[in-house]
């Protein structure tokens, strides 16, 4: 039986066909630019060599499949995902999952928040800006595992019509983005908790647009949440980077994004206790988390503006 499984998350940065208009301030890719981006992305995917990869900023499932056709190791992989468009017919960013492990069925996009959850009078207050994707992956040995790919609201200031250019307007626009991201974090926490009632392993991975210690990320993990005695580990999720066995502060360069010269890790892999070395119910342990981020310093025009995160998990014996 396969002894190690590898999970990764990869924000590809606006993967769309050549000529597709995505944003008013962004020119479409030329055929040559698209080819360069597709080839680079394919090489990164092969370099990750993960069994399961969650993707963000996929504007076209067809473009993702084209990228996979350029890889060496993922041409036969299974793809779960969906396309989305705005009312004007313009492509919207989505998430996707690619797996070399078998899936129990097609993925399900969680477009709406849990029933009854609302945070404001905004028309979109009860929906995710980019619907998380829930996929059930079958691990070696047959264990069914819930994997959720996410891309929470960005830090980009949410300006409204009529806002000025002063400091107060900028601060309020940032607050709106934070409120939106916070609402999505709460909704994701509720949905992930509901999955936990099954007792199956859970992995939530993707672009959280916040660091691991941020309030929004902590909400998703359920850190510090009240629970029944003896249920502390079962109720929450854990940052794979924090619980990995191979901790080495001297070589730790775990950032996935550079903004205004600040190095941040905003892409994460969260796991349930089933992969925590301290859990008596563990079926595997987090051996190591690595970051592929050298390209961020090179400024390659066809590369992603995010680093990739790879988690290596050693399975513990046979899984019933």
List, for residues 92-112, the tens digit of each pLDDT value: 999 999 999 999 998 999 999
Q: Between these two residues, 79 and 297, which has the higher pLDDT value?
A: 79
Token output for 105: 């069925």
Residue 261 has pLDDT above 60, yes or no: yes
Residue 235 has pLDDT above 90, yes or no: no
Token output for 41: 């992305």
Q: What is the pLDDT of residue 32?
A: 97
Residue 250: pLDDT band by 50, 70, 90 thresholds? very low
In this structure, how many other beta carbons lie within 10 angstroms of the beta carbon of residue 306?
24
Over residues 33-84, the pLDDT tens digits come to 999 999 999 999 999 999 999 999 999 999 999 999 999 999 999 999 999 9
Average pLDDT of 279-290? 93
Report how far residue 267's alpha carbon sits from residue 182's, in angstroms, rounded to the nearest whole number. Answer: 16
Q: What is the pLDDT of residue 227?
A: 62
> Are the C-beta atoms of 17 and 62 separated by less than 8 Å?
yes
What length does the chain have? 320
Residue 246 has pLDDT above 80, yes or no: no
Q: What is the pLDDT of residue 226?
A: 66
Q: Between these two residues, 144 and 224, which has the higher pLDDT value?
A: 144
> Are the C-beta atoms of 256 and 225 separated by less than 8 Å?
no
Token output for 211: 């660091």
- State the Cα angle at 217 between 96 and 303, rounded to 5°: 45
Can you give 152-205 as a three-state secondary structure string?
Answer: CCCCCCCCCCCCCCCHHHHHHHHHHHHHHHHHHHHHHHHHHHHHHCCCCCEEEE
> Are the C-beta atoms of 286 and 271 separated by less than 8 Å?
yes
Q: What is the pLDDT of residue 319?
A: 42
Average pLDDT of 210-227? 86
Report how far residue 217's alpha carbon sits from residue 9's, in angstroms, rounded to the nearest whole number. Answer: 16
> What pTM does this model have?
0.92
- Rounded percentage of the chain residues whose pLDDT exceeds 70: 88
Please name the residue that has the structure tokens 């010269």: 261
Q: What is the pLDDT of residue 223?
A: 78
Mean pLDDT, the chain, whole residue set: 89
Q: What is the pLDDT of residue 253?
A: 58
Residue 267 has pLDDT above 50, yes or no: yes
Q: Tell me the torsion sign for CA atoms 261, 38, 45, 275.
A: positive
Residue 69 DSSP symbol: H
Average pLDDT of 166-194? 89
> Are the C-beta atoms of 69 and 92 separated by less than 8 Å?
no
Q: Between these two residues, 119 and 312, which has the higher pLDDT value?
A: 312
Residue 228: pLDDT band by 50, 70, 90 thresholds? low
Report how far residue 59's alpha carbon sits from residue 13's, in angstroms, rounded to the nearest whole number. Answer: 10
Q: Which candidate, 237, 228, 257, places its Cα nearest to that of 185? A: 237
Average pLDDT of 24-28? 89
Average pLDDT of 244-254? 65
In the chain, helix, strand, coil percent, each to 5? 25, 30, 50
Average pLDDT of 241-270? 76
């Amino acid at each position: 039986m396969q002894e190690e499984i590898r999970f990764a998350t990869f924000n590809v940065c606006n993967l769309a066909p050549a000529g597709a208009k995505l944003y008013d301030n962004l020119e479409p890719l030329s055929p040559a630019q698209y080819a360069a981006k597709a080839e680079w992305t394919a090489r990164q995917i092969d370099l990750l060599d993960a069994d399961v990869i969650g993707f963000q900023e996929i504007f076209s499932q067809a473009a993702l499949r084209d990228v996979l056709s350029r890889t060496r190791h993922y041409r036969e992989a299974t793809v779960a995902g969906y396309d989305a468009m705005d009312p004007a017919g313009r492509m919207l960013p989505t998430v996707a999952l690619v797996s070399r492990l078998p899936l129990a069925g097609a993925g399900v996009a969680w477009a709406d928040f849990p029933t009854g959850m609302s945070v404001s009078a905004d028309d979109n207050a009860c929906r995710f800006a980019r619907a998380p994707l829930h996929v059930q992956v079958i691990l070696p040995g047959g264990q069914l595992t819930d994997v959720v790919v996410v891309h929470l609201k960005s830090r980009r200031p949410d300006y409204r019509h009529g806002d000025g250019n002063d400091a107060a307007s900028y601060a309020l626009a940032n607050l709106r983005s934070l409120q939106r991201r916070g609402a999505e974090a709460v909704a994701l926490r509720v949905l992930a908790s509901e999955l936990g009632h099954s007792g199956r392993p859970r992995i939530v991975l993707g672009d959280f647009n916040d660091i691991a210690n941020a309030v929004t990320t902590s909400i998703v993990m359920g850190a510090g949440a009240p629970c029944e005695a003896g249920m502390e580990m079962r109720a929450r999720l854990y940052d794979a980077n924090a619980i990995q066995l191979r901790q080495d502060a001297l070589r730790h360069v775990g950032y996935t994004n550079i903004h205004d010269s600040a190095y941040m890790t905003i892409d994460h892999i969260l796991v349930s206790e089933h992969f925590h070395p301290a859990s008596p119910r563990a079926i595997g342990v987090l051996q190591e988390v690595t970051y592929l981020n050298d390209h961020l310093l090179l400024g390659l025009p066809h590369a992603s503006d995010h680093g990739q995160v790879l988690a290596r998990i050693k399975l513990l014996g046979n899984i019933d």
